[in-house]
Chains A and B, each alone.
Chain A
C-alpha cells in the first residue's frame, strides 16, 4: 500500500501479454506509478480476470496464445458487465491492418510497440481522465 491509496481507491489496470518480461516490466512500472496491477498471459485468462476483478482499464496485447487479443476484446465488449472497461490495444505488429482490426474488435485505443512504460502511463491517464474517444493515431516510441 502506498500513499496514493489514502486519498482514493487505486485504479486497477489489467495487463495482458504473453511475454513475461514485457508484462512484468509494465506491471512494475505501473505499480511504481501508483496503479494496482493484475496480469493475464492469454485471452481466456484476460476475460476471466476482467470478470473477477472488473479493472478500470485493460492493456491488451493482440498476439496471444490460446485466445488472441481481438477475440478477448470482442467477448469483453459483448458482455454487459465488462463492456464499459476501456481497452488499450498494444502490439508489435506495425502493419496497418492491426490497428484497424483492433478498432473493429472494440478496442478504445491503440499503442504500437515498442512503447515505453512512461508513454503507456500517459495513455492510461488520458483514457481514465478524459475521453472515451480514442486518439486517432497509434502512439509509440518511433
Chain B
C-alpha cells in the first residue's frame, strides 16, 4: 500500500529511522498531499496547507511526484520543493532521483529481508535441531533437502568414519526411501513404523514415521518426515501389554481358583462355615446353608426356630475357640436341628482359626460332620458284633461237633481198617485151616486112586474120582478167595518186567492144552508181528489171560477160541483179546459178570463149575496193572474179552 510506504524524502536518506513521518488520512482526497500522491503532475501547496489554483509553481512549495518504482501505481513518493528554487529541471531531477531512491530502497529491502530470512532460517534450524526426533525434508524419492542433527546421525556420514557406520547409514537410507515410496503409494499423511539401524551402536531402532507431502513453489513436491524413536516406547508398550496379559491370566486364575474352591467347598457333604472373629458368618457351603438358613416352606416358624437354635449353638461353640486360649483348633459336639425335617442332628464340629501374617485371627473355619450315621453305624456295629459273637459261638459248637464227629469217623475208619486187616488175616488163616484138612482129603484120595491100599472096584474108583474133583473145586475157590483178600489187603506186590506177548501166549496155550484136547475146540492165535514188549507184571497178565482163556474154552461148546494180540500206538497200549464162538452173554449181564461170586446165570455155576470169582479177580488185577477189561458179547453170538494194559506199565 502506498500509504504505508509513503515517506517524505527530505533528503536522500538511506537510514529509515531518520525519515520524516507524517500521518495521512488517505481516505481524505482533499488533503493536498493525498491529492499529489494520486496524481502525476506537480502540485502547488500553500503554506496554510491548501492547494493553490492552477499554477503549481506559485504556491509556497511544490509537490512533485517521485516514482519510486517502475510501475506507476506502486511506490509513489513526493519531492517537496520550494518554488523559489524551483526550476523546470526539478521535475526531471525528481524523476531520476525517484528512480535511484526506488532502486536503493529495493536493495535495502532485499538485504533486510535476506537478513531476516537468514535469522529465521537459523532459528528454524535451531528449532528443528532442538527436536529430539529426526526431522527431514526430502524429495519424494528420499533425497535429503534439509535434515536436522538427529536425522544426520542416522542418514549421513562424513569422510573417515567407520565402515560399519557407512553401511548402517546406507541401509537406513534405503529403508527410509522404501518407506517413503510405500508412503507415496498409500498417499496422504500417514504414520507407519520404520525399523532402522543405529549407526553408532548397531542396534535396532524402531521409529514411527510421520510424513506429509508438501508442495513447495520452487522445489516442487517435497516430503516432510518426522521420525519418532519408539524403540523404548515399543518395549514399554509390549511390557505393558505383557503385564496386562499376565494380569488377565492371573485374574482368570484367581477366578478359576475361587470357583474351584467354591465348587470344592460346596461338594463337601459336610457343612463348612467361615466366620469372622465376632461370629458373623462370612461364607458357607450349601450343606451349611441348609442348617443355618430357613427353608422356604410352610412351616417357616418351626424352621426359623431351628435355625435360630442352630445359630445359638454354633456361636457358643465358636466362642469356645477363643475362651479356651491359645489353641488353633477346637473340637466338640453340637446338637443341631435339621430345619427341613426338624430332626435332631448331632454333629461333630471342628473349628480352626485363620491367622493373618501378624498372627491376628482373621476368620474361623468350622467343619461340621453329621454323626447320625456314625452313631447309627456304631449301633449297627454293636448289633453285628453281638450277632458275630453268637455266630462264633455257633461255629465253635459246630466245630466241636465236627471235631467229635471227625474223631468218631477216624475211630470208625481205624476200626474199619482193623476190621479189614482182621478180615484179611481171618481169610488167610481160614485158607490155611481149610488147606490142612483139604490136604489130607486130596492126599488120601490120591493115594486111594493110586491103589496104595489095593485096587478098588470101578464104582468105588468112580466115586473116589468125584471126591477128588470136588476137593479140587473147593481148593480153587479157596485160592480165589485168598487172591481177592490179598489184592484188597494190598498184599499182592507188583513185579514189573518186560513181557514178551508171543512167548506168554505160547505158555498159556501149553497150559490149557489138556482142556483144549478135552473140548476138541480149534484154538487160534493172531499176533501182531514185531510187537514191542510191554513193561508189566508178567505173572498177573498171565493169570488174567489164563482165566479168560479157560472161561472161553469152558463156555464154548462148538467152534473156536482165538487169542488176538495188538499194539495200540495212539493209546500206547497192548490189547490181548480172547474171542470165542460160545454161548455169549446178554448185554444187561455184562457188568454183573465182573462182580464177586457171579456168573451170568446162577445155573451156569452148577453146569460149568467155578466159583464165579475169576473175572472179579481179573478186573482187580487189570486195575493193579493200570489196565482194564472190555467185553463185547451177546447171547449166542460168542464173547470177546479184551485186556488192555499200558505198554509202559506204571508211570
Contact = CB atoms under 8 A, between A and B. Distances in A.
Interface residues of B, number: 27
Interface in A1-52: 19, 21-22, 25-26, 28-29, 32
Given A92-B432, A96-B491, A29 B440 contact: no
User: DSSP majority for the B interface?
Assistant: helix
B438 A114 contact: yes
A122 interface: no
B431 A29 contact: no
A26 B452 CA distance: 12
Contacts of B446: 116-118
Given A25-B444, A114-B439, A116-B446, A95 B486 contact: yes
Contact of A26 (B433, B434, B443): B443
Q: Which of A19, A21, A92, A93 gathers most chain B CB within 10 Å?
A: A92
B564 interface: no
A85 interface: no
Contact of A28 (B432, B447, B486, B491): B447
Contacts of B431: 92-94
B128 to A, nearest CB: 140
Interface string A61-95: 00100000000000000000000000000011111
Given A96-B493, A113-B439, A118-B446, A141 B432 contact: no
B450 A114 contact: no
Contacts of A117: 443, 446-447
B440 A25 contact: yes
A106 B476 CA distance: 30
B475 A63 contact: no
Nearest to A19: B436
Given A95-B428, A114-B475, A25 B482 contact: no
Contacts of B479: 94, 142
Interface in B407-437: 428, 431-437
B553 to A, nearest CB: 18
A21 B440 contact: yes
A115 interface: yes
Contact of B436 (A29, A92, A95): A92
B436 A32 contact: no
Given A92-B432, A117-B446, A28 B440 contact: no
Interface of B: 428, 431-440, 442-444, 446-447, 450, 452, 472, 475-476, 479, 482, 486, 491-493
The 6 closest A-B pairs by CB, nearest first: A92-B435, A114-B439, A92-B432, A21-B440, A25-B443, A113-B439
29 contacts: A21-B437, A21-B440, A22-B436, A22-B439, A25-B439, A25-B440, A25-B443, A28-B447, A29-B447, A91-B432, A92-B435, A92-B436, A93-B428, A93-B431, A94-B479, A113-B438, A113-B439, A114-B438, A114-B439, A115-B439, A116-B442, A116-B446, A117-B443, A117-B446, A118-B450, A141-B472, A141-B475, A142-B475, A142-B479
